Structure formats: structure tokens, C-alpha cells
Structure 1
Amino acid sequence: MSNHDRPGPGHHHRHDSVQPDWEVLGPDLERGAELYTPLYEQAAAWLRAAATGAAGPGTGGVRRVLDIGSGPGVVSCLLARAFPDAEVVAVDATEALLERARDRAGRLALGDRVHTQLAEVPAGLDALGGADLIWSSRALHHVGDQRAAVAALAGHLRPGGLLAIAEGGLAPRFLPRDPGIGRPGLQSRLDAAGEEWFTEMRAALPDAADETEDWPAFLADAGLRAPCTRSFLLDLPAPLSADARAHLVATVTRAREMYGDRLDEDDRSTLARLTDPEDAAGLVRRPDAFFLSAQTVHTARAQ
């Protein structure tokens, strides 16, 4: 589980035929999360205002935060800065990513407040204890029964505590409709292939539930109140930085490996050119590559 693993360019995803090597993918996963820092800083400021507002008992003192599916801890550290009086626990099922989270917290002088916990969701939640804020980004879609997973997280909220689920939004855009190579509309076809792959992945999960992905309804069914939904935009115009280009190449390469076989030969050839660092039309060199994405966050509060 990680903060950046939705299918499609811009996010790694965990479920494929070969278990990912997180020692190898960890650096790019961290770089991708750093790319999204402006978006997550907006979300963290919004959560701080919601958690410390006059919305009910217990909302003024956030002392413990759980980041469920923390990956390399980029957002864990952002939450630690947004809530300077809180302990933040980065929770993930991959020790290699938690090691990166500990290293990052140490570099940022947050090691005394950012801790890690190795745990699966939802089976490994019992040992986590309570929290005033629980954040989970792009992690619960790895769980077959998402409604039950939301309820399990809600059960760890302290009175008045806030649960924030970042799921959904808009898939990243990074090229013009006609990129000048191959057929126009590649981005839409890549999105469609990714959605097909994602649907099949979801269906194959243990205890997969075939139901409408209505996150506010899941929160309400968990006994939480005052649901709220807001989306945050990441807008990185051309020309992209070298780090942004490197992340984009890595994630498009990953998408090509995972579901490129669902595209025709012409589109696969275009993807090969886009990920070739020596190709003038590739993402490393072209001046028009950009990065535009949106992330939706759903919140609700414990009684």
C-alpha cells in the first residue's frame, strides 16, 4: 500500500503478476510522492482546519495520527508538520518502504514523532490503537471489501476523531491530445486499458465486493457523521523539472509493462518512443510534457 499506487501513469500499483521489488521501486515511489507535495500540503491544511475547528468534542487536540498505507512516508512527514503536537504512525505492509519512511523522518528532524508500524489492512489493524486523525491514500482499493475496511478504520477513531480517505479523482494528464507521434488520443486509450486492468485486479481480490464505490456512504455506514468531500489539484505546467520527467518516464514504463498488451501495436510503439531517453519525442526531451492531476478526499467524524 502506498500513497501513489493508483493504476495509470503517475502511480505505481502493487497488484500485478510479479510481486514488485520495493527496494528497486522505492526511490521512484518516494520521488512520485514528493511530486505531489503541493497537492498534499493543500489537503493537510484542509484537514488541520477541519480537525481543529469547532465541529465537536475532541476536535481541538490532534495528538495521534495514523497514515494507513504510508509507503515511503512522504505524507506521514507532511502530517507531522501540519499537526506539530501529534505522534504520526506510518503504517504499511512493506518493510522496505517503512525503512524509507524512518530515514526520511530522521533527515527532516521528525524522527521523535514519526514512527512506523508493519501491518496489513484490514487484518493487521488491531495493534494500532486509537487516533484523532486517520489518513489513508490510495490504499483501500487494495482491499476486497472496501466498506468493511472503512468500518475497521473508523473503529480506531477516538471520540470526535476524523477519518480521511483519499480515493478517486482524475487520472494524470501529461501530453497533448495529439503528441505528434502515433495516433491522437493515446492518453485516453491508456486510461481505458488501465481501468480494465484495475477492474480485473479488484475482482480477483479476496472477499471482493461488487458494489458502488460510494465513499461517503461507506463512511456513514461506519457510524461516522458530518461527511465532506473535496478535491485537490496538482498542476505542473511545461516545461517539467528533471525529477518530474524521470518519475513520469518510470511510471509510464510501469504502465506499459502492466497493461500495455491491451493496446495495439501502434500505441505500444508510441509508448516505447515516449520512454526512450534518446528520442526527441520522448518525455525526457519534449518541451510540452506537463503533469495535471486531481485527488479526491472524503472525510467524516466519529461521534
Structure 2
Amino acid sequence: MAPAHHHTHRHATGHDHGTAVDWGAQASHLESEADLMTPVYERAMAWLAREVTDPGLIVDAGSGPGVVSCLFAEAFPAARILAVDGSEPLLERARARAARQGVTDRFDTLTGELPTVLSELDYPADLLWAGRSLHHLGDQRAALTAFADRLAPGGTLVLLEGGLPTRFLPRDIGIGRPGLQARLDALEEERFARMRAGLPGSAAETEDWTALLTAAGLIRPRTRSFLLDLPAPATARTRAYVVATLAHLRDGFSDTLTPEDRTTLDHLLAPSAPTSVHHRPDVFVLGAYTVHTAVRPV
């Protein structure tokens, strides 16, 4: 089996991925996760700024609530930003964030399903960013070709896909059987596979992103990973994110967890227990996020 993604983004939501997901209902969790990941995005953009000179139009394909779109506006102060998403409630949040940041004069949104909505672009993109949105599209190969077609000559396609499982706790936390997060990862892999299989037009694809970018007609593929390292002791914001994520996992896997692991998660989420993630001093966030880029030939 091809290695699936490893992260809690959008999949640690307690939703059955055989059904349509209401992203609007998850807006605050998506937003808090993206805010927490800001150091990763900023380092990725600093790297991209050395690769991509003075982009005129940056498209954030699958922008969600616009956290990354607004970071692009900050990192590339001369660029116009277009946030594209299928969820109008999430794009409302994106517009509100752009207004708070004072960049509405060069910030637009486009509502519609990827990749077809990209045919509505008035201008080709100098940089098209797909941050963990591609794996929500059934035929990823066809979607990449559609993304590549919307690039200006010399334009850059950037995928955020893959990486390593995020960790919040040591292997042995003194409660239940050691290795809880590894077992949650295994359940997450199975759920991700079900989600992919249930997508319209789903096609199995080896997750060799470099090969897929090349097959889409792009050149000069590059890959780089960025670390999110929020060490213990956790800040209140980091702790709140860990609590929310573990709660989503407990709810999403309530039928498949072993009784022992369910009890452990209940204990970790008990607000008053000193050994819960609300209070324990060893809570952290450590994850690795991989960025793949390639360029449309001139």
C-alpha cells in the first residue's frame, strides 16, 4: 500500500469519510490548527520566496478559513491572493481575516469545487498552493494536470502532502498500554484509505509526488520538509489544540478503539485529572510537513 498522509488535519474530526464533510462546522478547529502551524508555513514561504520571484497572482487551492492565504499576503506584499474553496462559510472567515490584516485590496475569494472551479480564473497563477487539499480529490493525477494547466509559464505548483505522524505525548504516559498514538495512527491510516476510496472518481495512486508532478508536465521538482516543534511545557493554545484533536479522535474511533485505549483517552481528556492533557507537564506538539514544488516550462 502506498504510504498515506500522516497528520490529524481534517481527518481527526469524528466524521465518517463515506459522507460529505461539513467543513464550515469544523471552521474553528481548522483555524486553530492552521494558526498553530504558522511557524511551518512561514518557513515554507521563506523557502518559496527564494524559488519564486515576485509572483503577481498566488492561488490558495483549498484555502479553508484563509490562514495560509493571509500568510501569503504577508510574505509576498506585492502579490494578489486568491483563496479558493468549496465552502462559502470558510471563505467568509478568510475575507474577515484579510480585512483584519488590512489586505482586502489584493485579496479575493472564489467558491467552487476543485479542480473544475480553477477554469474560472481570470489570469494564470504564478504560484498555486495546494495545502493538503489534493488528497480530497478522487483523481489526484487528473487534478494535478488541471492545477498545472492553470499556471503561468514559469509558474510554480506547491503541494503540502505527506510528512510524519504528529506526536503530542511520550510513548509511555504512565496510563494504559504504551504506544497509544501509534495505534491511533494505524486507525487513521485505515480511515484515510476509506475516505479516499469513497471519493467520486477515486483512483488509486502511488504517492510519489515527484513522479506525479513530472507526469503533469512540470519540471524541476523539489521536496523539502519543515518541522513543527512546540516543546513541553505546552502553552495554553498548544494544550487546547491537543485536547481538541484527541477528543476528535476519541469520538471518531469510538467503535474501533480497544476498551483499554478508550479508557486511556477518556482519562487523558478528563478536565480535572492531574494526569490528563489539560494539566500534565509532558504535553508537546512535534510534526513534520513535506512540501513538493515543480515549475511549468516557459
Residue 229 in structure 1 maps to residue 219 in structure 2: no
Q: Identity over aligned residues, as a percent? A: 54
Change (3 A) 1:295 1:115: same
- Select which of 92, 97, 117 maps to 2:110: 117
How far does the alpha carbon of each residue in 1:94-121 deviate from its partner, in whole angstroms, 9 at most, with x for none? 1111111111111111111221111211
Residue 32 in structure 1 maps to residue 25 in structure 2: no
The SS at the match of 1:253 is: helix
Tell me, yes or no, if the aligned pair for 1:7 and 1:198 is still in contact at 8 Å.
Answer: no
- Select which of 209, 216, 234 maps to 1:215: 209
Cα displacement (A) at 1:21: 4.6
- Select which of 217, 239, 247 maps to 2:241: 247
Cα displacement (A) at 1:225: 0.5
The SS at the match of 2:163 is: strand
Tell me, yes or no, if the aligned pair for 2:6 and 2:163 is still in contact at 8 Å.
Answer: no
* Equivalences for residues 34-53 of structure 1 within 5 A: 34-52=35-53
Tell me, yes or no, if the aligned pair for 1:12 and 1:251 is still in contact at 8 Å.
Answer: no
Change (3 A) 1:41 1:8: closer
Q: What is the distance in 1 between the residues matched to 2:7 and 2:217?
A: 33
Q: What is the distance in 2 between the residues matched to 1:246 and 1:86?
A: 34
Q: Which residue of 1 aligns with 2:10?
A: 12
Q: What is the distance in 2 between the residues matched to 1:239 and 1:189?
A: 24
Cα displacement (A) at 1:283: 1.1
Q: What is the distance in 2 between the residues matched to 1:243 and 1:12?
A: 18
Cα displacement (A) at 1:7: 6.8
Q: Which residue of 2 aligns with 1:3?
A: none
Cα displacement (A) at 1:261: 2.3
Q: What is the distance in 2 between the residues matched to 1:40 and 1:146?
A: 23
How far does the alpha carbon of each residue in 1:46-96 deviate from its partner, in whole angstroms, 9 at most, with x for none? 1111002xxxxxxxx310000011111111011111111110001111111
Tell me, yes or no, if the aligned pair for 1:87 and 1:114 is still in contact at 8 Å.
Answer: yes
Paired amino acid for 1:187: Q
Q: Which residue of 1 aligns with 2:59?
A: 66
Q: What is the distance in 2 between the residues matched to 1:127 and 1:21?
A: 24
Question: TM-score under structure 1 normalisation?
Answer: 0.91
Change (3 A) 1:297 1:7: closer
Change (3 A) 1:48 1:8: closer
- Select which of 79, 83, 101 maps to 1:86: 79
Q: What is the distance in 1 between the residues matched to 2:21 and 2:154?
A: 38
How far does the alpha carbon of each residue in 1:247-276 deviate from its partner, in whole angstroms, 9 at most, with x for none? 111111112222242220100111112122
Gaps of 5+ in 1: 1-5, 53-60
Deviates more, 1:278-287 or 1:290-299: 278-287
Q: CA RMSD in A?
A: 1.6
* Equivalences for residues 111-150 of structure 1 within 5 A: 111-129=104-122, 130-150=124-144
Gaps of 5+ in 2: none
Question: TM-score under structure 2 normalisation?
Answer: 0.93
Count of residues in Structure 1 that have an aligned counterpart in Structure 2: 289
The SS at the match of 2:116 is: coil
Change (3 A) 1:24 1:7: farther
Deviates more, 1:254-263 or 1:144-153: 254-263
Deviates more, 1:18-27 or 1:182-191: 18-27
Q: What is the distance in 2 between the residues matched to 1:36 and 1:160?
A: 29
Paired amino acid for 1:188: A
* Equivalences for residues 282-297 of structure 1 within 5 A: 282-297=276-291
Q: Which residue of 2 aligns with 1:196?
A: 190
Q: Which residue of 2 aligns with 1:180?
A: 174
Q: What is the distance in 2 between the residues matched to 1:161 and 1:181?
A: 51
Tell me, yes or no, if the aligned pair for 1:7 and 1:255 is still in contact at 8 Å.
Answer: no
Change (3 A) 1:172 1:117: same
Q: What is the distance in 2 between the residues matched to 1:115 and 1:202?
A: 30
Paired amino acid for 1:209: A
Cα displacement (A) at 1:12: 2.5
Q: Which residue of 2 aligns with 1:277?
A: 271
Cα displacement (A) at 1:28: 2.2
Tell me, yes or no, if the aligned pair for 1:197 and 1:259 is still in contact at 8 Å.
Answer: no
